[in-house]
Amino acid sequence: MSEFFDASFVPAALARETDDRAWARAMLEVEVALAAAQAEVGLIPASAADAIASAADAISLDPAALGREAARTGTPAEPLVRALRAEVGGDAGGWVHHGATSQDVVDSAAMLVARRALAQIEPALAAVAESCAALAERHRATPMLARTLLQPALPTTFGLVAARWLVGVDDARRRLREVAERRLAVQLGGAAGTLAVLGADGPAVVSALARRLDLGEPTLPWHTLRGPVHALAGALDEAAGAAGKAALDVVLLAQAEVGEVAESRDGDRGGSSSLPHKRNPIGSVLALAGARRAHAAATALTGTMPQEHERSATGAWHSEWAALRDALALTGGVAATMADVLDEIEVDAERMRANLEASGVPELEAETYLATAGAFVDRALERRR
Amino acid sequence: MSEFFDASFVPAALARETDDRAWARAMLEVEVALAAAQAEVGLIPASAADAIASAADAISLDPAALGREAARTGTPAEPLVRALRAEVGGDAGGWVHHGATSQDVVDSAAMLVARRALAQIEPALAAVAESCAALAERHRATPMLARTLLQPALPTTFGLVAARWLVGVDDARRRLREVAERRLAVQLGGAAGTLAVLGADGPAVVSALARRLDLGEPTLPWHTLRGPVHALAGALDEAAGAAGKAALDVVLLAQAEVGEVAESRDGDRGGSSSLPHKRNPIGSVLALAGARRAHAAATALTGTMPQEHERSATGAWHSEWAALRDALALTGGVAATMADVLDEIEVDAERMRANLEASGVPELEAETYLATAGAFVDRALERRR
Amino acid sequence: MSEFFDASFVPAALARETDDRAWARAMLEVEVALAAAQAEVGLIPASAADAIASAADAISLDPAALGREAARTGTPAEPLVRALRAEVGGDAGGWVHHGATSQDVVDSAAMLVARRALAQIEPALAAVAESCAALAERHRATPMLARTLLQPALPTTFGLVAARWLVGVDDARRRLREVAERRLAVQLGGAAGTLAVLGADGPAVVSALARRLDLGEPTLPWHTLRGPVHALAGALDEAAGAAGKAALDVVLLAQAEVGEVAESRDGDRGGSSSLPHKRNPIGSVLALAGARRAHAAATALTGTMPQEHERSATGAWHSEWAALRDALALTGGVAATMADVLDEIEVDAERMRANLEASGVPELEAETYLATAGAFVDRALERRR
Amino acid sequence: MSEFFDASFVPAALARETDDRAWARAMLEVEVALAAAQAEVGLIPASAADAIASAADAISLDPAALGREAARTGTPAEPLVRALRAEVGGDAGGWVHHGATSQDVVDSAAMLVARRALAQIEPALAAVAESCAALAERHRATPMLARTLLQPALPTTFGLVAARWLVGVDDARRRLREVAERRLAVQLGGAAGTLAVLGADGPAVVSALARRLDLGEPTLPWHTLRGPVHALAGALDEAAGAAGKAALDVVLLAQAEVGEVAESRDGDRGGSSSLPHKRNPIGSVLALAGARRAHAAATALTGTMPQEHERSATGAWHSEWAALRDALALTGGVAATMADVLDEIEVDAERMRANLEASGVPELEAETYLATAGAFVDRALERRR
């Protein structure tokens, strides 16, 4: 993520939830919750947990410096833990990160970041769906040319086109929600994935930690079981692709020779400095670019599945962090951009009719296709109730 | 898929369910079921549906010839429909493919092929899980060295290693089952996705067709809504990766310098023509190769999400067929190979203990780590009950 | 590769050069050339080399059976060598595959297959370039609307559009030629990559083998140095993408609402069974699908670079075979298809002018843009002389 | 790129050459050089060119703000040009960006950034090669076990292992150098790719611009001819993979059970906070992670080849920027990290000999394999002279 390249792809609020500082803060929260969970089950003194919580509030983090130190041990967790221990000081400092390994902190923090990002991605996708539903309803009977292989096929309605976008987005939302509910789990296994240091209290600590972080409780530590990351990446990719489908149709329908929709000129978006006559569907173009980038990030994440023994040795795990951030931020960006685009899209029903008439497609009884297309629109809308 | 390269990746029975003939037969079944569904709702004569069913039984298909003819219209459905019409002949011939478009047939057939392939993939994955569970139980208290970044970490047990494989595979199976149950849907939309030709009977025909083919009923035709394909590809990829995780650990543990497991010499597998002393973990190597190929195929499928208007115009849809076949066949192959490997794997508990002792890792109370690792093994096993 | 799915993507002659039988034959040729090279330097009896050559001519190969046996050792080379030894018989049989390892045979055969496939791919690309050059020349001054972000920009000429396709294809051809000349090397390293069995004669045998197979002589055995495969895959991918660029423009210009080009109706290609009014740019659609598939295959190949020690242990090498075949066959298919499409493309200069006039783009002096566009066309054409 | 995640992947100096500010500065340089080139051929007043150069020196850029404004038009070039025009002011301001389009500026700047990054990547790769050459020479006759499929094969030498790394890196360097010399070209085509606004002076301006920016002169504007980007991405990917090959071998040889090499404990790198006994090959692990990420970025870049008409409409171009930065920065990071690792690597020749003897591989005459392996080492070293 870079401000220069990504500010037009990712909304500021989502960028903040996924940036360096957000990750570092999430790692601190994991340490705080871990200490609290251990105090809760009587494994460490409550006073130590309190001291750790206070220090985490007070500490001033420099993510860039942590990043540079990460080269020594391979993760930013180690310098962060060291810094937190120093901030806590005394005996309590010794309880920081008790029984945990660096990957516990990074993975749990990643899941926190993911959950918070999803809390912004989901409303953006919902807004896309709402706009699609509104368009489907409004244009339930707006005749339009269906195009297959970009050639005129038969009549359809713009309502059905919008209903199709809607179903794609709603399907992806359901998948994303299920992944969020079932597969985002806390990570806690300790150096060897046995939690031996915590002895018989291990399972209780995992439960308490999961509850405190509002994450799922895994069957086993998943240091080298990357199913959760794979499932999340896939769901994000489907969501970006589903919103991207609407973007693609907008770009094609906005061609001057087609002219059936246009992005709003809101705030002068889509203008061209060199060609004042132009009206580019720039939101949709950027959404498509974002969907391509989200797909690349998701593919990087789904390609790291077989990892060695108890901890990845050939870079698979270390390559996940930036890709996860990208997948979250870009998917949310695609959704937010298309929510904007579809909320204000201009539909030219006259041009749709004119193109249909000029197309030379066989005459169908309007009554018939309006009825069958309308029935499909209704199905798509009913499913939402 | 090629016999030379793929026979060692894909079991013969699964190859048969996904080969050229299987796809062509599935396309015929779709046409037969479509006619039957239309007869059921009174849209076409029952006698026509019967004639179509008989002709589909009688017709002799040449998939290669159909493939060559596909270049003219872009899909093998068109020449197949033509051949079937000719075989049926007479008035009944006119009812073949009534109201449908080529993609209806190809997509519905793809879902049939997928369902049948899954009927072989799932038992193979179940067998992998069974072997893992048996190993986890048998070696619940077999001490072993945990390795992180391929370096000695702390003690664990082989039972926990096997339990980890088990959880990975079981998680992937659950995802695959859910995709199979919820997202494999029949395709029927006609030339423009409105089913206008079927008039008010459209929805009833879709229902009947779905029931007859034992596939889900979609909200809308999904010609350019590729979520179902995306979800299936992702679930297959996770399954191949989960089995691949076990394969990777086997390859690493089978290193001569480690020597903790070995693939069985069953049928001389793993021998080397030039080096008789060698004992290669060839099943696991091929499974890892298969998992890489399955990932490539899955990625090709997840990369085709935004498709144009009512039918893909830039090759996205046309590029799915071979990739779907590969993803199905290779995932099943990985599972079948690892089911074999794990069923007969030789575990050297003595060597595990010796390596652990030689590793110089801190002495932990055996009691402690056997208890905590054992508790995790139990969790993994209990989840299956 | 499958006949059903791939016959419309890959010309029959190229399919034959890359199919199972072609690979198995190439492997035999490698064994024959190896024996001849060894006889040449006096390492084995000339009579043994002759006997091996005769047996290779006489032997009847069943690629499918070899493929099945490959599961035992992980490569089809081992059963093939065994079969050849049996066919040769006697003492001479003992000299088959002398000092070589299975990967020597498979990799050298892969390079042979690649060279032969390139001998078909290159003329197909040359034909694409020729057609582009002819179009560029013929339409040097045919005014047309330039479109950016699919919106009207300013005037250009169709000649410059075709010249752009030309430059893309010519650049890719140059890269492909260089890879063919410099990086396709014979493989010969023996079991450990030292060629120890051949003693001081090793280098001379490598030279002779390279000469006999008309392949390059590598600095070292490249069993786990996959640069040659990476470079080849990349060059194929650029070629498929360059031809795909022309295909994409054709699909877009062929839209009914644009109507500036059309694929020829030669042999009824592009018709639709359900919609007789349609005229699909099916060649270009299939070429785009082929380019997507070629990219997926190339990506699989470029993703296998770091391989373990002296021979890949985690499936990277074993995953290359099918991907290499696909990359070769599909790139050639894209080129052949576009050579056809562009050879017969119908250009509607009237419609181009009409669209330009209707576009509302600023009036430029035709003299000016015809001159500047023409100058670019000339540059592209001159570079070919 | 993020400081938290990427500081351990990318050297600070290379990060500076590829960061937001570097891109924005490069874009300014393009505008300055464009004006100078146009003044040179007499197209604009020399005083305007001077004023533009002065303003570019004086202007204070906020890349983040430019990034946010980019959402309106789709590229950061437009707000940057606007800011520069304002800074120049007066009549001279009107000559800023004369005849150019946004993509001209971004693409030319991307090539500048690439050239500068390559000026750091190449020495890092050279250092890797130097270290490999030194190891190859020093260990020319250090016996060691060759391993195929991670199983003992036959004896080799560590010198040959290092020579293999060397050849891989040198091959990749040659390819990268050729791409740098031949394919990094300036971009200048104007709004429609015809340079019509520059009239007959267009070609001379392109030449002068190329000369001033020390970039190649393209045959045609390459707005939608992405061969240069494809070729660059591929060459970077091969380089990262070639260095990654060495990293993979180091990780495997550093396994405690193998123990033949170790990364230096320089500056405490490779320690573990929780396990003081550990000595992780963390440089190599991070290099492998970087190679995976570089491959993902390169794949994103090679996947954008077919772009629409005169300017990409479906996000392909817009998705290139961040991927190009990643590919450059990460490849350089892999090289720099491995240069460090190999410079200080500890080689345990005793352990190599002991492992070889314990391996049970057939006894070869040491004389023989030392001679054949040595001959290969010499070939690899000689090629460098």
* Average of per-residue pLDDT values in chain A: 95
What's residue C73's pLDDT? 85
Which chain B residues are closer than 8 Å to D273 by Cβ? none
Each residue's pLDDT tens digit, C18-46: 999 999 999 999 999 999 999 999 999 99
Confidence category of residue B142, pLDDT binned at 50, 70, 90: very high
Residue A154 contacts C, CB cutoff 8 Å: yes
Return residues 76-135 of A near D (CB < 8 Å).
76, 78, 81-82, 97, 100-102
Which chain D residues are closer than 8 Å to A319 by Cβ? 289-290, 292-293, 296
Distance CA B291, CA D273 (A): 34
Distance CA A270, CA A275 (A): 11
Radius of gyration of chain A (CA): 25
Q: How far is CA C376 from CA C128, C135, C146, C370, D196, in A?
A: 19, 14, 15, 10, 11
Residue B279 has pLDDT above 90, yes or no: no
CB D2 within 8 A of CB A325: yes
More confident residue, B275 or D39: D39
List chains adjacent to chain C, taking adjacency as at least 3 C-beta pairs closer than 8 Å.
A, B, D
Which chain D residues are closer than 8 Å to B252 by Cβ? 150
* Average of per-residue pLDDT values in chain B: 95
Give me the mean pLDDT over the B91-106 stretch: 97
Residue B271 has pLDDT above 70, yes or no: no
The per-residue DSSP string of A77-137 comes to HHHHHHHHHHHH-HHHHTTTTTT--HHHHHHHHHHHHHHHHHHHHHHHHHHHHHHHHHHHH
Q: How far is D219 from chain A (nearest CA, A)?
A: 24
Q: Which of C1, C2, C253 to mutate to test the interface with B (most CBs of B within 10 A)?
A: C2
Distance CA D166, CA B295 (A): 31
Q: How far is B257 from chain C (nearest CA, A)?
A: 14
Q: Which of C85, C273, C320, C331 to mutate to test the interface with B (most CBs of B within 10 A)?
A: C273
Nearest CA in chain A to C286: A149
Q: Is the ipTM of this complex over 0.90?
A: yes
Return residues 268-287 of D near A (CB < 8 Å).
268-275, 280, 282, 285-287
* Average of per-residue pLDDT values in chain C: 95
Each residue's pLDDT tens digit, A114-161: 999 999 999 999 999 999 999 999 999 999 999 999 999 999 999 999
What's residue A367's pLDDT? 87
Query: What are the residue numbers of the active site of A?
Result: 272, 311
Which chain C residues are closer than 8 Å to B5 by Cβ? 20, 23, 67, 76, 321-322, 325
Confidence category of residue D274, pLDDT binned at 50, 70, 90: low
Q: State which amino acid sits at residue D219.
A: T
What's residue A385's pLDDT? 84
Residue of B182, B265, B272, B383 marked active site: B272
Do residue D71 and residue A280 have CB atoms under 8 angstroms apart?
A: no
* Average of per-residue pLDDT values in chain D: 95
Q: What percent of chain D has pLDDT over 90?
A: 88
Burial class (CB in 10 A: 0-12, 13-18, 19+), A73: buried
Confidence category of residue C265, pLDDT binned at 50, 70, 90: confident
Do residue C313 and residue B271 have CB atoms under 8 angstroms apart?
A: no
The answer to whether B351 is a known catalytic residue is no
Residue B257 has pLDDT above 70, yes or no: yes
What's residue C267's pLDDT? 58
Give me the mean pLDDT over the B39-55 stretch: 98
Each residue's pLDDT tens digit, A241-259: 999 999 999 999 999 999 9
Distance CA B50, CA B34 (A): 11
What's residue B268's pLDDT? 59
Q: Which two tokens stand for residue C221?
A: 């055995």
Residue C194 contacts D, CB cutoff 8 Å: yes
User: What angle is formed at CA A72 by the lines to CA A68 and CA A77, rounded to 5 degrees?
Assistant: 70
Which chain C residues are closer than 8 Å to A356 by Cβ? none
Each residue's pLDDT tens digit, A290-338: 999 999 999 999 999 999 999 999 999 999 999 999 999 999 999 999 9
Give me the mean pLDDT over the D344-354 stretch: 97
Q: Which of A163, A189, A333, A341 is nearest to A250 (CA)?
A: A341
The per-residue DSSP string of D43-56 comes to SS-HHHHHHHHHHH
Q: Which two tokens stand for residue B110?
A: 């793809």
What are the φ and ψ backbone dihedral angles of B199, each rounded to 5 degrees?
A: 55, -140
Distance CA C328, CA C301 (A): 12
Residue A152 contacts C, CB cutoff 8 Å: yes
Distance CA D135, CA D166 (A): 10
Give me the mean pLDDT over the B118-139 stretch: 98
What are the φ and ψ backbone dihedral angles of D284, each rounded to 5 degrees?
A: -70, -35
The answer to whether D60 is a known catalytic residue is no
Give me the mean pLDDT over the C308-314 stretch: 97
Distance CA D299, CA A295 (A): 11
Do residue D151 and residue B362 have CB atoms under 8 angstroms apart?
A: no
Each residue's pLDDT tens digit, C123-182: 999 999 999 999 999 999 999 999 999 999 999 999 999 999 999 999 999 999 999 999
Q: How many residues does chain C have?
A: 385
Residue C181 contacts D, CB cutoff 8 Å: no
Distance CA D118, CA D110 (A): 12
- H or E, element range at C78: helix C77-88
Q: What percent of chain D has pLDDT over 70?
A: 97
Residue A215 contacts B, CB cutoff 8 Å: no
Distance CA B215, CA C325 (A): 34
Give me the mean pLDDT over the D186-215 stretch: 96
- Maximum CA pair distance of chain B? 85
Strand (E) positions, chain C?
Answer: 143-148, 151-157, 261-262, 346-347
Nearest CA in chain C to D224: C245
Q: What percent of chain C has pLDDT over 90?
A: 88
Residue of B116, B212, B311, B351 marked active site: B311
Q: Which two tokens stand for residue D227?
A: 């061969």
Confidence category of residue C365, pLDDT binned at 50, 70, 90: confident
Q: Which of C1, C2, C4 to mutate to test the interface with B (most CBs of B within 10 A)?
A: C4
What are the φ and ψ backbone dihedral angles of D156, each rounded to 5 degrees?
A: -140, -160
Residue of C8, C68, C265, C272 marked active site: C272
End-to-end CA distance of chain B: 38
Do residue C322 and residue B6 have CB atoms under 8 angstroms apart?
A: yes
What's residue C271's pLDDT? 65
Q: Which of B311, B134, A5 is nearest to C289 (CA)?
A: B311
Residue A39 has pLDDT above 70, yes or no: yes
What's residue B4's pLDDT? 86
What's residue C189's pLDDT? 97
Which chain A residues are closer than 8 Å to C154 by Cβ? 275
What's residue D2's pLDDT? 79
Distance CA C213, CA C208 (A): 9
